[in-house]
Amino acid sequence: MEFLTNPLNLVIFFPLVGVLVLVFMPAGRKNLLRWTALLASLVTFGLSIWMLTQFDKSNPDLQLALNLPWIQVAGWDIRYAVGVDGLSILLVLLTTFLSPISILSTWTAVEERVKDFMLFFLLLEVGMLGVFLAQDLFLFYIFWEFTLVPMYFLIGIWGGPRRIYAAIKFFLYTMAGSILMLLAILWLGIYQGTFSVPDLLLKGVIPADIQLWLFLAFAAAFAIKVPMWPLHSWLPDAHVEAPTAGSVILAGVLLKMGTYGFIRFNIPLFPDASVRLAPWIALLAVIGIIYGAAVSYAQKDVKKLVAYSSVSHLGFVMLGLFALNAQGIEGGILQMINHGLSTGALFLLVGMVYEQTHTRELAVYGGLWKIMPVYGTVMLIVALSSMGLPGLNGFVGEFTILLGAFGSKAIGSPWFAGIAAAGVILAAVYILYMFQKMFLGPEGSIVAEVKQHGHALRDLNWREIVTIVPLLVFIFWIGLYPKPFFELMAPTVEKLLSVLP
Amino acid sequence: MIPLTWYLVLSAILFAMGALGVLIRRNALIIFMSIELMLNAANLAFVAFARQYDVFTGQLFVFFVMTVAAAEVAVGLALIVAIFRTKHSIDVDQMSSLKG
Amino acid sequence: METLFNLVPLVVFLPLLGLLLNMAFGGRMGEKAIGALASAASGLTFLVSVLLAVALWAGGGEAQVVPFAEWIRIGTLDIPWNFRVDTLSVTMMLVVSGVGTLIHIYAIGYMHEDVRFKHDEKRYRRFFVFMNLFIMMMMLLVSGDSYLMLFVGWEGVGLCSFLLIGFWYDMDTLGRPSWANANAAKKAFITNRIGDLGFLLAGMTLFWHFGSLQFGEVFNQAEQIAAAQPGVMLVITLFMLIGVAGKSAQIPLYVWLPDAMAGPTPVSALIHAATMVTAGVYLVARSAPLYSQVPDAQYIVALVGAVTALFAATIAVGQYDIKKVLAYSTISQLGFMVAAVGMGAYVAGMFHLVTHAFFKALLFLSAGSVILGLERGHHHLAHHAGEHGEVFDPGDMRNMGGLRKRMPVTFWLYIIGTLALVGIFPFAGFWSKDEILLDAAKLHPELYILLTIAAFFTAFYMGRQVWMVWFGKPRHAAAEHAEESPRVITVPLMVLAGLSLLGGALNLPGVHSLGHWLEHSIEVLEHELHLPAWLEISWGGLNPLVALVTTLLALLAIFISWLLYGRKPLEGGQKDPLKKPLGFLFTGMENKWFVDEIYRAVLLKPYEALCRFLAEVIDWRFWHDWFHDKVIAGTYNYLARTVLDLRVDQQGIDAFANGLGELTKRASTTLRRVQNGFVRSYALAVLFGVVVILGYLILK
């Protein structure tokens, strides 16, 4: 009974109810299927809000936790343990928040095999929520790997022309890193005698040289997922080929699983190694920031541009997390949310115009603001949020990260933050380039081409506005009043910092 | 009384004629008739031995052979008709589909 | 009186309300109503600023901090959104909202015509939304109580600048479909962002050494930290200078401002002359307690300002576009202000900031009136000819001439603005510029010389412009048919002209009302100076020698410009008379000393090439295609397909099994000949078999 009434379990597994209902529905009733999936994800969102109301933000420990024996074989103690704290609650909310939005975005974009799409999508949601809530390494690993499967199919079935290549690359690349993590998990389970994360924290300190290896093994899985430079090669392929909803979830949530992994496992479990490796991680992060921004600028495909911008943005997150001070880590966590909102919104918006034009080639666009004023304005706001304009969400995250990294003792030098700050200029360069090429200037050739096919470009319709407005609300909210968001994570981050040497 | 040897010689001649017919003729009907000839040669031998040793088994066998022959003719003719329908010929040399 | 201070959030929220109302209901309102609403929002902001000034005056000028909301708080980092009401911020508020309101009113008339000439009447509302947004952001900038809140406004006005420069984003300044305006907007934003990086770095250094970004807490520790870590103070102030150079268009980041003239003229007047570009000056004045601690940084700031003042003035001489001349003039005048605040002459700098806002706005708006006048003339002609044939540039001074007869009101307003800018007694510019020059003469004689030469050039290029635009004969049919602007445009100009005439009264020598007003916010350190005798002369605070030198030089410059451009007016198609005597120097001035080209070649092109190289060669061909697809996937494929599949599996294990099969097959091929399909041969075989078996049985 406890298993079923735990709020976290309800959140994780409610999408499965939707899956069960969907299975018994006729595949031809597309709208019914869509509404059902939307409803399932909305109820999940509602449940996560209910979870939030029960969350005590002044408590730094795991809350609403459930810890049941699960697999007890040969002396192994594998438990079904879930719990939520300041590190994960925002990410859980982000997941349940982005899921209905992504489903809404598929309304007219996905016409084939709607049933299968929705099934995979809801399964993916289960996996992601499980990753953020699991507190047992074994359980975490299962959810972690489980998310690969639905995503593989989402890219491989509903993707673009090179979808099979992209799907396989995505799957294998992430899998390769996970294997190393599995070895490290087994080491911990065998030598520390438990897989449970809170229990592991109570055990004695692991010797520093072993910490280093374990850190690297975990980092292999997480760094690929983030992706940290130079392990980002799967990302542009996956993003370009994935359907819009897939890209939104991929950028919005899946990448955060990597950064979340670092803060949930690497930093608290291997504090000495974290401090020791912080400058190196910061170095990779800074390279990623500059490199991602520069490469973005040279892209001709909008989606690819946004994909590389993720490399840059996630570099900021990593820089913040490994500043290992309050400003850096809280900024980093907030920036995860920001990136989910802003880049998610960018992918949604790109998808909306792609549905009408069927091209993402920047060169054929131009002058859209005049034809689609609402779309242009929304895109402007999202673009500005992505380049960190004060008053919008991106700034709060980036500024606190830079500030944290600038004075970080672990990183040890303000140069990292100084160079990363130059990424703010480069972000303006590529974002404005994209905005200009699409919305400013004279009318692009695509306008006439669409007209030739008998229908002019239209501005956003009501469904699309409903899809995007919630994101805008949070973009402004976090930008203007981030206090409630920082409050949720502050005690946990403080506790996390207290274990660092 | 005609000695047994004579019957057996006649039977052997008839059998040899039948066997030769089967081996050298190409018309399926003729081959059939040759087979009948061989069967009847065997019947003759049975009957001759039956009279010589005064047992009924030989005569019994003759009836049995005649029944089998009648059945065989029915099946065989049906086969020939079927083959004729597809091949428009009853030349056995044309029927070599089973050649390895 | 005290409660009046609580009104201060209104300076941000009134413009916000204005723009929200216009966004929500503007679609159903007429142009007049949209413009009136926006102007009212700005006007009410001005009213609030006046009330604040009164409250401040009544309270003896004591600075007030009005807490408003919490913003970012993490660990030791605490940045609330507080408003700072002191004489400095209120002065800025008054200038921004006052000049801003006049420009809003002017824009009602200006944009009415502009959107019609550009054939997109729907964009009228958007203009006023952006203008209100700008007022809001500028107010945020000047009213914030911490460096970060200042930065919020700082970036916000940069955004508005981007939006308004790119207002006609689908055309160039002549209305032809083009990327030009959009590019100008992007250039402005990115150049500003380079400056913002400096600001950001300064902010981060500040925080980690001062533990706060609040003005009060920072300034209190300034002396102490300057004594302990002089290097840190130098770094902070120099990083800040980068920000100043970006926003206030100083060398080396001034290049965006001339291009910014792509925006509609009210924008050039408000943002790119009167208010936003002075934010850098405000920043230095605000940070006076920091700068006062590091004379080296002060000197560098002053040097940058003075060099910019002269450099931009030389370029202005070679420009033909009426707005470009004014743009370079603005850069030059900003140089004066930056030099002043850099030297520590904060009052002189702020004084010039205020008067400059008056007369430069006047000049820009009058120039806008001229451009509209020419547009009207051109429109009139095209209407008669029934076609819109040639591309006509209404801003090119070579198309003008003799306009004083066609547009007399604008003419007189322009003359007032010119005299104020040139610094002729008793116009506002005379007093403020003189004060800067006097301070420069006292503190840094070499900068005084640079600035005086810049002032000479100022008089020259303004003289050149006046002769070219207003005198002589019309050089284009459109100028011949130019029409005067309506009252909604000229009346705000008259107000500005009045201010340009009387603005000097704000800080007359000897009285120093502005100086005493600002004393409450800026601690002015009096240096002990050993001055030459001629600088010690004071007629009630006015040094007659400095004033005389400047005035005489100005008059001389105007006289030379008359010799070149007034005595024998330019004819249509004639080359500039300076071209011959100055030769390549003039070519340099005409082409802005090729700075844009140099930046393009040295910075922009290499960066683009680097990005392309990284993206195409490193990331894609090397890392994606070669390393991942060829090396990793390729090696695996080779191992799997060639080695294991082909060599081991197919050629090893399979080959053995297949060999057995092959053997059987060969044998059966030989044996199958027996099966010839002839019934007779089978029968023969049977017979043969029977004979053999029988024979065996018999012979056994």
Return the pLDDT at C387: 52
Q: Please name the residue ranges forming H helices in A326-482.
A: 326-357, 368-371, 373-386, 393-406, 414-439, 445-452, 462-480
Structure tokens at C178: 């083009």
Reply yes or no: is the peptide bond before residue C426 cis, omega within 30 of 0: yes
The dihedral through the CA atoms of C266, C268, C271, C274 has a sign that is negative
Say whether A417 and C204 touch across the interface (CB within 8 A).
yes
Residue pair C545/C534 in contact by the 8 Å Cβ criterion: yes
> Which residues touch B36 (CB under 8 Å, ≥6 apart)?
B18, B69, B73
- Please name the member of B19, B31, B99 whose beta carbon is closest to the beta carbon of C675: B99
Minimum Cα–Cα distance from A381: chain C residue: C159
* pLDDT greater than 60 at residue A120: yes
Helix, strand, coil % in chain C, rounded to nearest 5:
75, 5, 20
Which helix (DSSP H) or strand (DSSP E) does residue C83 occupy?
strand C77-85
Q: Is A193's Cβ below 8 Å from some Cβ in C?
A: no
Q: Which residues of C touch B (CB under 8 A)?
A: 671-680, 683-684, 687
Q: Alpha-carbon torsion C506, C508, C513, C517, what sign?
A: positive
A115 near A40, Cβ under 8 Å?
no
* ipTM of the shown complex: 0.90
Q: E strands of A12-74, at which residues? A: 63-71
pLDDT higher than 80, residue A490: yes
pLDDT at C100: 93
User: CA nearest C629 in A: which residue?
Assistant: A169
**Local structure of C321: helix, strand or coil:** strand
Residue C301 CA to residue C151 CA, distance in Å, equals 20
Residue B100 contacts by C-beta under 8 Å, 6 or more apart in sequence?
C671, C672, C673, C674, C675, C676, C677
CA distance C245 to C253: 6
Nearest to A45 by CA among A103, A4, A109: A103
What string of DSSP letters covers A398-438?
HHHHHHHHHT-TTT--HHHHHHHHHHHHHHHHHHHHHHHHH
- Which of these, C425, C377, C374, C414, lies nearest to C397 by C-alpha position? C374
- The model's pLDDT over C3-32, given as tens digits with 9 standing for 90+, comes to 888 888 999 999 999 999 998 888 888 888
pLDDT at C360: 92
In tens, the pLDDT along C490-510 reads: 888 999 999 998 888 888 777
Residues of chain C with pLDDT under 50: none
Query: Which residues have C-beta within 8 Å of that of residue C23, sequence separation ≥ 6?
Result: C129
CA nearest C109: which of C326, C365, C362? C365
Put simply, the answer to whether B26 touches C675 (Cβ < 8 Å) is no
Cβ-contact C87, C521 below 8 angstroms? yes
d(CA C542, CA C147): 36
- In this predicted model, what pLDDT tens digit does every residue of A137-158 receive, in sequence order? 999 999 999 999 999 999 988 9
- Looking at residue C524, its pLDDT comes to 64
Q: What is the pLDDT of residue C390?
A: 67
For A237-296, what is each residue's pLDDT tens digit?
999 999 998 999 999 999 999 999 999 999 999 988 999 999 999 999 999 999 999 999
Cross-strand bridge partners of residue C423: none
pLDDT at residue C403 in the model: 84
pLDDT of B11 higher than 80: yes
- Residues paired with residue C73 on neighbouring β-strands, in sequence order: C78
Q: Which residue of C678, C682, C684, C687 to mutate against B (max B Cβ within 10 Å)?
A: C678
Pick from A128, A139, A140, A169: nearest CA to A152: A169
Q: What is the mean pLDDT of chain A?
A: 90
Residue A50 to residues A11, A55, A103, C420: CA-CA distances in angstroms?
9, 9, 21, 67
Q: Which of C197, C287, C155, C222 is nearest to A406 (CA)?
A: C197
Between A444 and A92, the more confident residue is A92
Query: Nearest Cα to C280, choosing from C313, C251, C310?
Result: C251
Nearest of A385, A311, A305, A297 to residue A350 by alpha carbon: A305
Q: Judge whether C22 and C79 are in contact, CB under 8 Å.
A: no
Angle in degrees, CA C302, C305, C310, rounded to 5? 125
Max CA separation in chain A (angstroms): 71
In the block, residue with structure tokens 């699309």? A464
C-contacting chains (≥3 CB pairs under 8 Å) = A, B
| Rounded CA separation A394/A416 (Å) | 19
Q: A413, A440, A459, A483: best mutation site toward chain C, by most C Cβ within 10 Å?
A: A440
Nearest to A496 by CA among A211, A268, A258, A202: A268
Query: Torsion over CA of B70, B73, B77 and B80, rounded to 10 degrees?
Result: 160
Give tens-digit pLDDT for A320-341.
Answer: 999 999 999 999 999 999 999 9
Nearest CA among B24, A176, B55, A200 for reference residue C678: B24
Task: Write out pLDDT tens, residues A399-443.
Answer: 999 999 998 888 888 899 999 999 888 999 999 999 999 999 888
DSSP tag of A113 = S
Backbone phi and psi for residue C475, each to the nearest 5 degrees, phi listed first: -100, 0
Q: A379 — phi, psi (to 5°)?
A: -60, -40
Structure tokens at A331: 């900024």
Tell me which residue of C458, C451, C459, C200 sits closest to C302, measured CA to CA. C451
Q: Which of A399, A431, A496 to mutate to test the interface with C (most CBs of C within 10 A)?
A: A399
Cα–Cα distance measured from residue A286 to residue A282, given in angstroms and rounded to the nearest whole number: 6
Of A407, A418, A439, the CB nearest to C201: A418
Q: How far apart are CA C489 and CA B14, in angstroms?
A: 139
Pairing outcome for strands C64-74 and C77-85: antiparallel
* Residues C613, C619, C623, C629, Cα dihedral to 10°: -110
**Interchain CB distance below 8 Å, A441 and C616:** no
Best of C238, C611, C612 to disrupt the A interface (most A CBs within 10 Å) is C611
Provide the token pair at C279.
């934010």
* Placement of tokens 């097959």 in the chain: C665
| C96-117 per-residue burial string, b: 16 or more CB within 10 A, e: under 16 | bbbbbbbbbbbbbbbbbbbbee
Mean pLDDT value across residues A476-497: 91
Chains in touch with B (3+ beta-carbon pairs under 8 Å) read C
Q: What angle do CA B79, B85, B91 make, to 5 degrees?
A: 70
pLDDT band (50, 70, 90) for residue A61: confident
How many whole angstroms separate alpha carbon C661 and alpha carbon A274?
63
A residues 388-447 near C, CB within 8 Å? 389-391, 395-396, 399-400, 402-403, 406-407, 414, 417-418, 421-422, 424-425, 428-429, 432-433, 436, 439-443
Of C29, C14, C39, residue with least CA distance to C107: C39
Residue C71 to residue A443: CA distance in whole angstroms: 41
Minimal C-alpha gap between C187 and chain A (Å): 9
Report the pLDDT value the prediction gives residue C541, as an integer from 0 to 100.
Answer: 64
Q: How far apart are CA C64 and CA C82, in angstroms?
A: 10
